[in-house]
Amino acid sequence: MLEIKNLHVSIEEKKIIKGLDLSINKGEVHALMGPNGSGKSTLSYVLSGKDKYEINDGTIDYNGKNLLELDVDERANEGLFLAFQYPMEIPGVQTSFFLKTAINSKRKYLGQSEMDALEFAKLMKSKAEELNISTEMLKRDLNVNYSGGEKKKQEILQMSMLSPKMAILDETDSGLDIDALRIVSEGVNKLRNSDNSFLVITHYQRLLNYIKPDFVHIIADGKIVKSGDYSLALELEEKGYEEISQTA
Amino acid sequence: MAATEQTIKQVNTLGSSDYKYGFSTEVDEIRPPKGLNEEIIKFISAQKDEPEWMLEWRLNAFKVFNKLPKPQWAKLNIPEIDYQDCYYYSIPKSLKDKPKSLDEIDPEILKTYEKLGIPLKEQKMLSGIAVDAVFDSVSVATTYKKQLSDLGIVFCSISEAVKTHPELVKKYLGSVIPVSDHSFAALNSAVFTDGSFIYIPEGVRCPVELSTYFRINAMNTGQFERTLIIADKDSYVSYLEGCTAPMRDENQLHAANVELVALDNAEIKYSTVQNWYPGDKEGKGGIYNFVTKRGACRGKNSKISWTQVETGSAITWKYPSCILQGDNSKGEFYSVAITNNMQQADTGTKMIHIGKNTSSKIISKGISAGKANNTYRGLVNILSKAKNARNFTQCDSLLIGNQCGAHTVPYIESSNSDSMVEHEATTSKINEDQLFYCQQRGLNSEDAVGLIVNGFCKEVLQHLPMEFAVEAQKLVAISLEGSVG
């Protein structure tokens, strides 16, 4: 699915990622954990194609394509999804209209006809119910005056409607209370299947109680310093980043 | 609505260029020589078979025009206009002898309107909308005329009204925009060619949208639209105009005068979707759109509401205004003005509060991209007798890129301590993070800009008649093509 080799990234001359390797296969869930400033969010932006980041070295292969050559929207329509840490507000644009536009952009890219209004309404309703999102909320402007938790649920709703091949969750747990965390995690777990993959970026082991990863990686100073299975997350919780990084 | 979808589809299939209406139609024209003089005015008047009083009115306006300087207040770079190097009248030969039915109209002209999404033939007419189609200097046809006249509604070209309803034309023409208002108003009064005339009788609520579609076709020809709408006591009308022109390298002039009169308890809703050819990326060609639009709320409790979506023209100079004479009368102005590439716009409104308890609302959304300049210029004037007058103004500007400009010039004059005037203004740049967010959801950069800008304009677009709101949204996105990337 995704193969990152020797990735070096800088922003405004400052080196952020310094030789990162990561390989994610179909059907796998990987967790990426690390302290502030270790390069976690930068990696999510580089994968989704945000500009201002300079790729100094390395390659990223995504399903046989050179990911770095694709535009942001091409990557999205090829099934790469980023659940934002800080989802953007778009005043004047109804949430449901935005969802419809996103779905039809993808269908257009794939050479399919637009989803008809009824089919769309049904899909949206069922997915929203799963996440405990009211239809009232879907009529409001996208993310405008949403609480932190509502914004994160909205991200997961978009993800489940677009059913991506490769989903990156950037600190989706931050700002969530325990109930919201459970609902969001269940939403993610429902999507998991043998054809898609997840990269879950988080500070805390807490989220991983709900979304059980197949692999856990620890990133420090722009490099993956340790990889393991779920038990690594527990070890990290016990020892802290500093000790784990040193023993790596 | 099916008709609108069809319109959009048709419009989208026209040519591959950015400006979807840029084709021209081959027709034989009747045109007097270039130049502006009494002879030309007499020629126009004679062509239209006008009564003597109309010709005198025109000639007097021409004298006034010669004395007035060009208005200078706008923040626009307007090249010197050589009034002698322009044609003032052009009509397709086939329309000279006033075709009795659509069958007698040159099929090329009918085809033009069909291509523009405005079918005129009975079986294809847009449902719920009566259309007056103006081609260069003449009205081609007006649909639904019979059905409207059964209600006592007059909807015809102004040329026709001069002959059929002279008492109304004499009473109201020039009563809202005096001939001497400024030089473009005087010029229009001297050489106006065609436009629509509407009279809604007392107590009648017009059941359909009335609409005029203006098309400039001939080269080097100015179009001088004149529209007059009168809503008698307790009546209501909603009117919409659309405008397009072929792509040409020379600039062309469209100088319009539009007058609205609302009597007691009457309401006029006037919407414009202006998409004249804006010129190319380097600023070559395009329409000079110098428009004077003014409505008089003469009666008590009357209301005039202007909604405009201005996306075309090389230069837009336009201030649809309301004179709030009647007690409790209301004026509204909702505007979206988009300038891209080298376009310039200086647009806004004047709200003149004269009567007691009058209120006005101004919502202006200016969007600037490329190297364009966009100015909101407005006046809220509250006279001493306008007790308890209220105004609310909100001006928002959105910048796309770093070579464009947005300017807000609000004038507020209040001679009355009971009144309340509120003004809010914001200027922002289109947010890179919003764009990235939309693109991450699969929208290409142009669709993303279109979506965000439509959201920004929503407060205004929702005031358009439903059938046209969809088209306007599409137009907003098209006008900004190539502005990012």
Confidence of residue B70 (pLDDT cuts 50, 70, 90): confident
Report chain A's terminal Cα–Cα distance, integer Å.
27
Minimum CA–CA partner of B456 in chain A: A92
Report how far residue B340's alpha carbon sits from residue B328's, in angstroms, rounded to the nearest whole number.
39
Please give the pLDDT value at position A158. Answer: 96
Average pLDDT of every residue of chain B: 84
At CB < 8 Å, which residues of chain A contact B?
48-50, 71-73, 75-77, 81-82, 84, 87-93, 98, 101-102, 105-106, 109, 141, 158, 162
- % of chain A beyond a pLDDT of 90: 78
Which segment of A142-146, B273-277, B287-291, B453-457 scores lowest on mean pLDDT? B273-277
Instruction: Measure A48 CA to nearest chain B CA, in Å.
Output: 7
| Domains of chain A as residue ranges with CATH | 2-247 (3.40.50.300)
Which segment of B13-17, B387-391, B480-484 scores lowest on mean pLDDT? B13-17
Report how far residue A45's alpha carbon sits from residue A66's, in angstroms, rounded to the nearest whole number.
16
User: Is B441–A162 a contact, with Cβ atoms under 8 angstroms apart?
Assistant: yes
User: Is A106–B438 a contact, with Cβ atoms under 8 angstroms apart?
Assistant: no
Please give the pLDDT value at position B94. Answer: 66
Say yes or no to pLDDT of B6 above 60. no
Say yes or no to pLDDT of B219 above 70. no
Please give the pLDDT value at position B329. Answer: 97
Confidence of residue B15 (pLDDT cuts 50, 70, 90): very low
| Closest to B136 measured CA to CA, from B278, B47, B31 | B31
Confidence of residue A56 (pLDDT cuts 50, 70, 90): very high
Which chain B residues contact residue A75 at CB under 8 A? 440
Averaged pLDDT, B286-308: 94
Reduced to 3 states (helix: H, G, I; strand: E, B; else coil), residue A236 is helix
pLDDT tens digits, residue range B375-430? 999 999 999 999 999 999 999 999 988 888 899 999 999 998 889 999 999 888 88
Q: Are A103 and A124 in contact (CB under 8 A)?
A: no
Residues 359-388 of B with CB under 8 A from A: none
Please give the pLDDT value at position A237. Answer: 84
Please give the pLDDT value at position A115. Answer: 94
Instruction: Measure B432 CA to nearest chain A CA, in Å.
Output: 10
pLDDT tens digits, residue range A167-184? 999 999 888 888 889 988
Q: What ipTM goes with this model?
A: 0.96
Say yes or no to pLDDT of B101 above 70. no
Domain boundaries, chain B: 2-373+431-479
User: Is B438–A84 a contact, with Cβ atoms under 8 angstroms apart?
Assistant: no
B127 φ, ψ to 5°? Answer: -80, 140
Pairing of strands A80-83, A166-170: parallel
Q: What is the DSSP string of A16-81?
A: EEEEEEEEE-TT-EEEEE--TTSSHHHHHHHHHT-TT-EEEEEEEEETTEEGGGS-HHHHHHTTEE
Residue of B481 and B270 predicted with greater confidence: B270
Averaged pLDDT, A111-122: 94
Report how far residue B341's alpha carbon sits from residue B370's, in angstroms, rounded to the nearest whole number.
4
Averaged pLDDT, B85-94: 78
**What sections of chain A are H helices per DSSP?**
40-48, 72-77, 95-109, 117-130, 135-139, 148-162, 178-191, 206-210, 230-239, 241-247
User: Is A77–B456 a contact, with Cβ atoms under 8 angstroms apart?
Assistant: no
